[in-house]
Amino acid sequence: MQISSHTLKYGTRAKQFDVSNFQNATTKRIIKKVQDVGRAALPVQELEEYNKILLDMETTYSVATVCHTNGTCLQLEPNLTNVMATSRNYDELLWVWKSWRDAAGRAILPFFPKYVELANKAARLNGYVDAGDSWRSTYESPSLEQDLEQLFQELQPLYLQLHAYVRRALHRHYGPELINLEGPIPAHLLGNMWAQTWSNIYDLVVPFPSAPKVDATEAMIKQGWTPVRMFKEADNFFISLGLLPVPPEFWNKSMLEKPTDGREVVCHASAWDFYNGKDFRIKQCTTVNMEDLVVVHHEMGHIQYFMQYKDLPVAFREGANPGFHEAIGDVLALSVSTPKHLHSLNLLSSEGGSYEHDINFLMKMALDKIAFIPFSYLLDQWRWRVFDGSITKDNYNQEWWSLRLKYQGLCPPVSRSQGDFDPGAKFHVPSSVPYIRDTMKLGFSKPWPEAMKVITGQPNMSASAMMSYFTPLMEWLHTENERHKEKLGWPQYNWTPNSARPEGSFSDSGRVNFLGMNLEPEQARVGQWVLLFLGVALLVATLGLTQRLFSIRYPSLRRPHRGPQFGSEVELRHS
């Protein structure tokens, strides 16, 4: 509340100025930014309510757990995330996927409509049409939505080729009952809780399995890497580029691993600027694997950006637009992912260079970067439509899956209802964080097209460079998909997997369905042995019965024997 009071005080003063006739562009830019007071524009009581809703949603998300019937409970990080990344058991993935949405999404739904109402009111008090309009204004482009759609259309040919190839690989692994080669992909099979990146299923889709590995996880674990070492290597990487080392405060105050003292924390990786020119921190529950090594460099990219513009006026200590921060992190993380750099860290046995190795590397990058683009686009598009009222609380979930089908070609693996709130199972929704975030010393001091021109030589967003980068993979995918006569897209768009069955019919994370009972695997195995024994006993009894009946019907074929002539009847009665 103190921050809001401060923001409102100086924002109110700034609104006394009409900046339209200001000659100094920098002063004009500062005043305009201070005039937007954000949530502080709300009346005190509603501001308190809004802050409480945000706190409740984020807390609900951060403490959500998923529990087995035996009482064992799992958190999102690292437990559920690890299962989604490594399991290849369809029902186990299904249980984790649905259970997380039951625990997080459904619990956040009651807060969300009021959050939307107050976010919109705050935006209107600042002169915007709605909260979506406020978010988009930071990009300083009246055609932002059209520009983003155009970017997606430019990348769509590559995405469709990737989607078809991955779908074929999943069909090969899970079978035709669970994967339709002309339909959407069930959203729980792509190695990530939200199917936003697909690189964790690289083992199922690797183009050339015999080529040298492009994943450094095994080597990191074998060499005893720790989260701290991962951040040290990232710091060394930036220093090697002639950039700034992180200050001592970073190492003393950052949270680089999940606490072991029982504290509940939000594990979503994030970088923090405390605006005093020396206190920059990262909060991340780091796991020793290659995926997190890339994330570490990405977050350290944010820290580098903070340090580069730390001497600007406070109003300018932001990215040129929200996407610039993400772009800086991603560009540097991409460099770290190259076989050459990983080889220099003694994490890969080869620098690569062969055609097979290059295609494998590009595939891994595409599973991470190309697969991510439609998800990031639709997440904010859904929220913009919620804010402008075209998506109402009565169809939150229905419209969410309509967008996921349209842009990603994915379907829910189980039936969904309006009582579900699957968008709320993604951190950025309950935390109210915009998502389409894709120079450095310019900070926010210049409009982002000017910052982009300094870096790239042209002021407009374009997907041409990315398409050029992935051209070898695009050609390989096209040839491979042609060979299998794949149908691009998802013409059978209303298909759902056979396992999109009534609630309660799927297994409880590793439990199996045995004769209609939900049992532990060991119990099911015992049951199978019992059934086998009973089956054998029944077979022996049947053969015995057949032999006795045969003997009764054809007594002349029996060999002479001593004892009662009808002794077999007594035996039959007791068999």
Which pLDDT belongs to residue 436? Answer: 76
3-class secondary structure, 465: helix
Specify which residues 513 forms β-bridges with: 518
Place of tokens 């004769």: 515
Separation in Å, CA 480 to CA 101, 180, 207, 324, 515: 36, 18, 10, 35, 42
- Of the CA atoms within 13 Å of residue 393, those in its CB half-sphere come to 11
Separation CA 135–CA 347 (nearest Å): 41
How many residues are listed for the chain in this entry?
A: 575
Separation CA 189–CA 85 (nearest Å): 9
Place of tokens 């009894």: 541
Neighbour-count burial of 260, counting CB atoms closer than 10 A to its CB (0-12 exposed, 13-18 middle, 19+ buried): exposed
Q: 409 in the Ramachandran plot: left (φ > 0), alpha (ψ -120 to 50) or beta?
A: left
Which pLDDT belongs to residue 549? Answer: 52
- Taking only the tens place, the pLDDT of each residue in 267-292 is 889 999 998 999 999 999 999 999 89
Residue 482: CB partners within 8 Å, gap ≥ 6?
none
3-class secondary structure, 186: strand
The angle at the Cα of 161, spanning 159 to 163, to the nearest 5 degrees, equals: 65
Which pLDDT belongs to residue 547? Answer: 59
The angle at the Cα of 373, spanning 454 to 237, to the nearest 5 degrees, equals: 55
Separation CA 195–CA 187 (nearest Å): 6
Q: What share of the chain is helix, strand, coil (3-state, %, to 5)?
A: 60, 5, 35
Which pLDDT belongs to residue 309? Answer: 85
From the list 381, 415, 413, 377, the residue with the least C-alpha distance to 398 is 415
Which pLDDT belongs to residue 220? Answer: 96
The list of the chain residues with pLDDT below 70 reads: 1-2, 6, 319-325, 328-329, 437-461, 498-575
Separation in Å, CA 36 to CA 42, 124, 125, 274: 12, 11, 9, 21
Specify the pairing of strand 65-67 against strand 270-273.
Answer: unpaired
Which pLDDT belongs to residue 562? Answer: 40
Task: Collect contacts of 86-93 with beta carbons under 8 A, ≥24 apart.
Answer: 86/200, 88/173, 88/204, 89/510, 90/174, 90/178, 90/189, 90/499, 91/499, 91/506, 91/507, 91/512, 92/507, 92/509, 92/510, 93/188, 93/189
Separation CA 369–CA 330 (nearest Å): 9
End-to-end CA distance of the chain: 85
Phi and psi (nearest 5°) for 271? -115, 145
Which pLDDT belongs to residue 528? Answer: 62
Answer whether 287's CB lies under 8 Å from 398's CB.
no
Residue 317 corresponds to which amino acid? R
Which pLDDT belongs to residue 548? Answer: 58
**Can you read off the two tokens belonging to residue 179?**
């994967």
Separation CA 524–CA 518 (nearest Å): 9
- Greatest CA separation found in the chain? 126
Phi and psi (nearest 5°) for 317? -85, 65
Which pLDDT belongs to residue 451? Answer: 58
Which pLDDT belongs to residue 18? Answer: 81
The angle at the Cα of 566, spanning 565 to 571, to the nearest 5 degrees, equals: 130
From the list 524, 424, 374, 332, the residue with the least C-alpha distance to 113 is 424
Answer whether 114's CB lies under 8 Å from 381's CB.
no
Separation CA 347–CA 349 (nearest Å): 7
Q: Where are the alpha helices (DSSP H) in 484-559?
A: 521-553
3-class secondary structure, 513: strand
Residue 561: CB partners within 8 Å, gap ≥ 6?
none
Separation CA 368–CA 451 (nearest Å): 26
Q: How many helices (H) and strands (E) does the chain have?
A: 24, 8
Separation CA 26–CA 56 (nearest Å): 38
Which pLDDT belongs to residue 204? Answer: 98
Separation CA 297–CA 159 (nearest Å): 25
Answer whether 225's CB lies under 8 Å from 288's CB.
yes
